[in-house]
Amino acid sequence: MPPQQISQDLNFPDNTAAGALFGDLNKNLHIIEESSGVKINARGNSLNISGVRHDVEMAAELLNQIYDLIGKGYPVYSSDFAFGLRILGSSPKARLDKIFLDKVYVTTQNRIISPKTTNQKLYIDAIRNNDIVFGIGPAGTGKTYLAVAMAVSALVSGQVKSIILTRPAVEAGEKLGFLPGDLAQKVNPYLRPLHDALYDMLGPEKSLDLVEQGVIEVAPLAFMRGRTLSNAFIILDEAQNTTREQMKMFLTRIGFDSRAVITGDITQVDLPIKKNSGLLEARNILKRIDGITFCTFSKADVVRHPLVQKIIQAYETSQN
């Protein structure tokens, strides 16, 4: 029996909000059509949605919720429509305002950083409520970016006095020793993604000033040995490339009034074959300790270019 086809009419009386909802040349409506398979006809501030019942109801719920968000002052982005459909597709009763309105930080370009998936919201809440949080999942799920946003927010609000960003300098198919320059120049490419996140949030000038003052430190993991890191927000990125010993060393650096976020993708381990990932071992050893929380992301949480989600799916399929 073919799925039931229905048609539903919607009306949005606020002209300004309706314009933001539909997007330039109805761009946002086209995104919904492509993502959900429905057909949307717009006339003035009114819409007619037609298609399979489930898809029509989900599209209508999305439009109504985002219209309400706009009325609350939310600066809607075109990408929010695809994110919203994913959320409602997995949790039909989800409230998008509980996720999208959770303002983590506002960048120098006045862009609001907020969670875009249910798992990202859980991750943000876990960081707020725990001293040590592990974020594990594939590339593009916002693990590191949101952690840096939380760190910058904590620094600006005076919750911590410094930010420490670190990652292991592990060769990923290229020999580090053959790169030109001194040690700092050799490892800088490994730390570049962390610098990029800081520049995006604080602007290059302020970021560099804070680095020069020692308020923000971006350094290879090896530089953490022997230190006690107090009153700091510490992020260990690419943690899948730590050894057991490195992970233990990092976790035991944490001092009073500090919190730590450890991020990694266990499907992209670049360690030598005989070396076990410290991230995998930590997940098994520490999972029952109060105050330590593990957050897991999936391909459904990818917030980069839509093709990234398809690429991850293709690689997962090829391994089965």
Quick: pLDDT tens for 172-218. Answer: 444 444 444 444 454 566 677 888 889 999 998 999 999 999 999 98
Burial class of residue 98 in the structure, from the number of CB atoms within 10 Å of its CB (0-12 exposed, 13-18 middle, 19+ buried)? exposed
**Least-confidence region, from 22-26, 224-228, 230-234, 251-255:** 224-228
Residue with tokens 């120098």: 108
* pLDDT tier for residue 163 given thresholds of 50, 70 and 90: very high
Q: What is the mean pLDDT of the chain?
A: 88
Average pLDDT over every residue of 246-262: 94
* pLDDT tier for residue 306 given thresholds of 50, 70 and 90: low
Would you give the distance in Å from CA 17 to the centre of its chain? 27
Give the C-alpha distances (Å, rounded to integers) separating 163 from 96, 105, 137, 152, 260.
Answer: 31, 15, 23, 8, 10
Tokens of 175: 């020999």
Q: Identify the pLDDT of residue 189.
A: 64
E strand residue ranges, 155-231: 162-167, 216-220
Give the C-alpha distances (Å, rounded to integers) separating 188 from 86, 196, 292.
Answer: 36, 12, 30
308 vs 158, more confident? 158
What type of residue sits at position 307? L
Please name which of 195, 237, 239 lies closest in space to residue 218, comparing C-alpha atoms.
195
What order of strands is seen across the sheet that includes strand 132-136? 216-220, 162-167, 232-236, 259-264, 132-136, 292-296
Q: Identify the pLDDT of residue 173.
A: 40
Quick: pLDDT tens for 94-145. Answer: 999 999 999 999 888 888 899 999 999 999 999 999 999 999 999 889 999 9
Q: Is the pLDDT of residue 285 over 80?
A: yes
Q: Give CA angle at 149 (145, 153), nearest 5°.
A: 170
Instruction: Kindly report the pTM of this predicted structure.
Output: 0.86
Q: Identify the pLDDT of residue 222.
A: 85
Q: Is the pLDDT of residue 14 over 80?
A: yes
Measure CA of the first residue to CA of the last residue in the chain; give whole Å. Answer: 32
Inter-residue contact 123 to 298 (CB < 8 Å): no
- CA R_g for the chain: 22
At 21, is the secondary structure helix, strand, or coil? helix
Q: Identify the pLDDT of residue 172.
A: 44
User: Could you tell me which residues are beta bridge partners of residue 113?
Assistant: 105
Tokens of 93: 């009763």
